[in-house]
């Protein structure tokens, strides 16, 4: 039986907030007070991915967790430029509206490129970085099982018709899928019950910048080239070791660029590291946010 709104609210007990970004309504979580942390999800998740971090940090931080347009509780227009550049622009509009001052970014999956894309526009506003299995640079070809989901016709059937990308992630993006309750699985799937509601899942896959001819490749390369300016920012990396996509090559991409980063590897977690290890991650973030050793000069 699909999750109902009452059950969703038990798992995701946050007041909804919305902003119009160029004609599309973006949903975001805004909980707590204190130094702001902006948590950016990837594909095929939504702000639901960060629910336990929001609960565990909102007494000491102001936690902002938007749903990218096409995802979660945000609007899902069918004829829309779902590109990396557009998602960066949408984040820019949200954060300009909120006027948070300097922020800590928490990044997962596509959130890495989107968040660091925003940071290259506003380097003076980036205070700290928290990284979960993501990249903001090219590190190796996309695994074939993901590329297939972007193929013409086949991708449409798998991703939009069968909901295969979101359903597959609940098996392949976690180290122990049997540990996820039925309710939690339904929470991830809640916003994606129809062909129309899965439009961004397919668009994200097709926008993966795999080669220079792709529109977002140049955007990613510009972000990558700008990363050295952030080497002085404190960085906490919480990495799921059992990730078939964002693997050790991606982790090395961060540690080679940010050698001062504090790295915690979770050998019993996969790509959805926050889902599987949030009990251990929350104390690390709480300490990271107050530790003077992690305060920028």
pLDDT at 7: 82
What pTM was computed for the model? 0.96
CATH number of the domain encompassing residue 78: 3.40.50.1820
Q: What is the mean pLDDT of residues 255-268?
A: 97
Q: Is 52 exposed, middle or buried (0-12, 13-18, 19+ CB in 10 A)?
A: middle
Confidence label for 295 from pLDDT (cuts 50, 70 and 90) = low
pLDDT digits (tens, 9 = 90+) for 220-244: 999 999 999 999 999 999 999 999 9
Q: What is the mean pLDDT of residues 265-294?
A: 92
Q: Is 292's pLDDT higher than 70?
A: no
Backbone angles phi, psi at 87, to 5 degrees: -65, -40
Q: What is the mean pLDDT of residues 197-220?
A: 95
The alpha carbon of residue 168 and the mean position of all alpha carbons in its chain are separated, in whole angstroms, by 17
Confidence label for 6 from pLDDT (cuts 50, 70 and 90) = confident
Confidence label for 71 from pLDDT (cuts 50, 70 and 90) = very high
Q: Is 297's pLDDT higher than 80?
A: no
The average confidence (pLDDT) of the chain is: 95
Confidence label for 294 from pLDDT (cuts 50, 70 and 90) = low
The encoded tokens of residue 133 equal: 């299995």
* Spatial CA neighbour of 41 closest among 232, 197, 272, 249: 272
The encoded tokens of residue 173 equal: 């993006």
How many CA atoms within 13 Å lie on the side-chain side of 182? Answer: 4
* Residue found by looking up tokens 């991606």 in the block: 250
pLDDT at 4: 76
Three-state DSSP class for residue 161: helix
- Distance CA(185)–CA(211), nearest Å, equals 33
CB atoms within 10 A of CB 225: 11
Q: What percent of the chain has pLDDT over 70?
A: 97
The encoded tokens of residue 151 equal: 């193929």
pLDDT at 162: 97
Q: Is 154's pLDDT higher than 70?
A: yes
The encoded tokens of residue 12 equal: 């995701």
- Distance CA(274)–CA(99), nearest Å, equals 27
57 versus 296: the higher-pLDDT residue is: 57
Strands (E), 248-290: 262-270
pLDDT at 293: 56
> Which DSSP symbol is given to 10?
H
Q: How many domains does the chain contain in total?
A: 1
pLDDT at 222: 97
Domain that holds residue 192: 5-294
pLDDT at 282: 98
295 versus 181: the higher-pLDDT residue is: 181
pLDDT digits (tens, 9 = 90+) for 84-107: 999 999 999 999 999 999 999 999
Q: What is the CA radius of gyration of the chain?
A: 18
> Which DSSP symbol is given to 210?
-
Confidence label for 22 from pLDDT (cuts 50, 70 and 90) = confident
The alpha carbon of residue 30 and the mean position of all alpha carbons in its chain are separated, in whole angstroms, by 16
């Amino acid at each position: 039986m699909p999750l109902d709104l009452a059950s969703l609210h038990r798992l995701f007990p946050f007041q909804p907030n919305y902003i119009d970004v160029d004609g599309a309504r973006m949903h975001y979580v805004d909980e707590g007070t204190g130094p702001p942390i902006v948590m950016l999800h990837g594909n095929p998740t939504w702000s639901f991915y960060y629910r336990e971090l929001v609960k565990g940090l909102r007494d000491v931080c102001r936690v902002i967790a938007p749903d990218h347009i096409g995802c979660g509780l945000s609007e899902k227009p069918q004829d829309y430029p779902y590109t990396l550049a557009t998602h960066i622009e949408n984040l820019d509009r949200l954060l300009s509206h909120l006027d948070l001052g300097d922020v800590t970014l928490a990044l997962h999956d596509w959130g890495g490129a989107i968040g660091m894309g925003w940071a290259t526009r506003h380097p003076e506003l980036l205070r700290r970085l928290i990284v979960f299995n993501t990249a903001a640079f090219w590190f190796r070809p996309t695994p074939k099982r993901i590329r297939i989901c972007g193929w013409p016709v086949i991708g449409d059937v798998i991703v939009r018709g069968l909901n295969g990308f979101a359903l597959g992630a609940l098996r392949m993006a976690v180290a122990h899928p049997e540990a996820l309750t039925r309710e939690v699985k339904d929470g991830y799937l809640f916003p994606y019950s129809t062909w129309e509601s899965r439009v961004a899942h397919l668009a994200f896959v097709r926008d993966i910048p795999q080669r220079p001819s792709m529109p977002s490749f140049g955007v990613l390369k510009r972000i990558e080239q700008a990363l050295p300016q952030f080497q002085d920012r404190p960085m906490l990396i919480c990495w799921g070791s059992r990730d078939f996509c964002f693997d050790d090559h991606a982790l090395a991409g961060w540690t080679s660029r940010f050698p001062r980063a504090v790295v915690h590897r979770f050998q019993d977690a996969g790509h959805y590291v926050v889902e599987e290890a949030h009990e251990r991650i929350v104390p690390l973030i709480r300490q990271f946010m107050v530790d003077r050793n992690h305060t920028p000069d």
